[in-house]
Structure 1
Amino acid sequence: MSANPYILAADHPEALLTLLQEDPSLATEQDEYGYSLVHAAASYNRIDLMRKLVNDFKVPVDLKDEDGETALFVIETVEAARVLVEELGLDPTIRSSENLTAREGLEAEAELPEVIEYLRSLETNTPAVNGTTNGDASEMLVLPSVPEGLQVTMGTMDEAEADGQQPDPEFRRRIEELAARGDFETPAGQAELRRLVEAAVAGEGLGEERSVRPRQE
């Protein structure tokens, strides 16, 4: 009786690669549920096997099972997700037959928060930046994108110009608070961000609320 390639993918990836060398057609086969070796390698975090299946045996990285789910739907580590998306080119926005992305599917099952956070960062295109934390994803600051229509000019200043110019802690607090709001990506949230940035550029203090009137031409 021949070895089950899906079991080999999980437990003996080296033996599976030997089997594939003998019969490369096995690489793209799927079982009765559409489950493939790419799905199996992703599920069991066999990173090198994933790479070889896609790069050497030309298995489509976006191969779907009967539920319309790619290998990204069955991963359990950020490493596997990153290799699939950033290295092998799998589109994270592909939806299953239930109209869910991989991130939405994981959220529905309330599993793997680190993977969910990584996939969400791909959707918002706002990478997390580790500040003064110990690496806890829940403490990582997500930097907001610059609002549309606002131009930022980068430059340098000498010591005399910089003397006494410390970042306004209230401005930083307000930016972080706004970025954490659920309506941050909405027009209202972006308008509020633009107002805060423009106030900071103009040198206006944020320690107290101020009234804002339309500028008179």
Structure 2
Amino acid sequence: MAPTNTPSIQLANIWTAAGDGQRDRVKELVDAGTDVDSHDDFGYTPMHAAASYGQLEMIEYLISAGGNINVADFDGDTPLFVVETPEVARFLIERGADPSHKNSEGITAAMNAMTEGWREVAEEIAKTTGETLTEEPEDNDLAHVAMGDDDEHDEFMQQVHNVMQRTEEGQNRDDQLRGLVSQMVMRQIQEDKTEK
């Protein structure tokens, strides 16, 4: 009997296959019962992978297979949060991606893109949302942020106090605290931009 020359092929999981644009492999997995919106151990979905790697045909396939273009990972980030080109951002928005969605930290995809250094992506998303984009101030620590309007400062400090008190009572409120701080930082950035 002659030996067969079939190499050992490691089959890609749905997330890797989606990111690599392997439509046949993704279809095979979906047909076998894999949830098209399944999360990996980090909350990433096939839609996130396809968006991150700019796999437009894969995104179309995932949508046609029932994939949710606004599926969120464990941090509340949708696929629009991971795109690295304005073309992919526009493609997702044209297919129903919600550019106004805020993740668990209260950040939009446009704000996230600015933080990641993807200014063109942020500008593309902001065309839809009307968000004003600003660079982060050099002095962006909490002391700087808290120096704003006294009423806002008092309100912010009261909200932080409330979250901390609930934490002491045994409730985990890290996400709420992170969201409050993010909102205050973004408010201060907006005010700094207005003053310039």
The gaps in structure 1 that reach 5 residues or longer are 126-181, 184-217
Counterpart of 1:89? 96
Give the letter for the 1:93 counterpart.
Answer: S
Counterpart of 2:138? none
1:59 maps to 2:103: no
1:69 alignment partner, one of 73, 77, 84: 77
Distance 1:102 1:21 in 2: 28
Distance 1:79 1:22, change over 3 A: same
Q: CA deviation at 1:64?
A: 0.3
Distance 1:14 1:53 in 2: 9
Distance 1:17 1:32, change over 3 A: closer
Residues 30, 36 of structure 1: 8 Å contact kept: yes
Distance 1:61 1:50, change over 3 A: same
Q: TM-score, normalised by structure 2?
A: 0.57
Residues 24, 57 of structure 1: 8 Å contact kept: no
Q: TM-score, normalised by structure 1?
A: 0.52
1:103 maps to 2:113: no
Distance 1:2 1:16 in 2: 8
Residue by residue, what CA displacement relative to the aligned partner does 1:83-116 show, whole Å, maximum 9, x if unpaired?
Answer: 1111x1111000011100001111123x122111
- Written as runs of structure 1 = structure 2, the 5 A alignment for 1:86-165 is 86=94, 88-109=95-116, 111-124=117-130
The gaps in structure 2 that reach 5 residues or longer are 1-9, 132-192
Q: Secondary structure at the match of 1:27?
A: coil
Counterpart of 1:49? 58
Q: Secondary structure at the match of 2:120?
A: helix
Distance 1:26 1:16, change over 3 A: farther
What RMSD, in angstroms, separates the aligned Cα atoms of the two structures?
Answer: 2.2
Distance 1:96 1:21, change over 3 A: closer
Residues 51, 80 of structure 2: 8 Å contact kept: yes
Which structure is higher in RCO with an 8 Å CA cutoff and minimum separation 6?
A: 2
Structure index of larger Rg: 1
Q: CA deviation at 1:22?
A: 3.1
Distance 1:107 1:26 in 2: 32
Counterpart of 2:38? 29
Aligned residues: 125
Residues 64, 70 of structure 1: 8 Å contact kept: yes
Identity of aligned residues (%): 32
Distance 1:24 1:46 in 2: 22
Q: CA deviation at 1:19?
A: 1.8
Which protein is richer in helix relative to its size?
A: 2
Q: CA deviation at 1:29?
A: 1.1
Give the letter for the 1:98 counterpart.
Answer: E
Distance 1:100 1:21, change over 3 A: closer
Flag as ranges the 4+ runs of structure 1 deviating above 4 A.
none
1:11 maps to 2:20: yes
Give the letter for the 1:78 counterpart.
Answer: P
Residues 68, 95 of structure 1: 8 Å contact kept: yes
